[in-house]
Amino acid sequence: MNNRDGVMESGKFVLYGWDNLSTNDGPGVRLALYFKGCSLRCPWCLNPFLQDIKPEIRWKKNKCVQDYLCVNSCKQSAIYKVNGNITIDYEKCNFCGVCWDSCKEEALKHAGDYISLEQILSLVEYEINLQIPPRNITIGGGEPLLHGCVLIQLIDALKKYDVNVILTSCSAITSRDLWKSVLEKVDGILLQMVTIDEEVWNTISDVPFDTYLRNLHDLTLSEKPIYIRIPIVHGFSDNPELIGKLCSFIKHALPNTQQVEFRGYSSTSSYNTPLFSLKSHSVSSEEVMKLCVVAKEMGLSESHWRGALRTLDNSQIHHLVSRVLKDY
Tell me the pLDDT tens digit for each residue of 38-62. Answer: 999 888 787 788 888 888 888 888 8
pTM of the model: 0.85
Q: Which of 241, 136, 236 is closest to 193 using CA atoms?
A: 236
Q: Which of 20, 14, 55 is closest to 132 using CA atoms?
A: 20
Residue range(s) defining the domain that contains residue 70 = 61-111
Query: How many independent structural domains does the chain possess?
Result: 2
CATH number of residue 87's parent domain: 3.30.70.20
Of the three residues 111, 134, 152, the one that is the final residue of a domain is 111
CATH number of residue 123's parent domain: 3.20.20.70
Using an 8 Å Cβ cutoff, are 74 and 92 in contact? Answer: no
Using an 8 Å Cβ cutoff, are 6 and 113 in contact? Answer: no
Average pLDDT over residues 114-142: 87
Which residues, listed in sequence order, are joined to residue 226 by a DSSP beta bridge? 189, 257
Residue 5 lies in a domain: no
Three-state secondary-structure class, residue 48: helix
Say how far apart CA 167 and CA 32 lie, in whole Å: 10
Say how far apart CA 19 and CA 143 lie, in whole Å: 17
Same domain, yes or no, for 46 and 80? no
Please name the helix (run of DSSP H) or strand (run of DSSP E) that holds residue 16, with its range, or none. strand 13-22
**pLDDT(262) > 50:** yes
Q: Which ranges of 2-116 does DSSP label H, i.e. alpha helix? A: 69-73, 98-102
Residue 148 lies in a domain: yes
Residue 3 lies in a domain: no
Please state whether beta strands 56-59 and 79-82 pair in parallel, antiparallel, or not at all (unpaired).
unpaired
- Range name among 17-26, 104-113, 136-145 with the lowest pLDDT average: 104-113
Same domain, yes or no, for 98 and 174? no
Average pLDDT score over the chain: 84
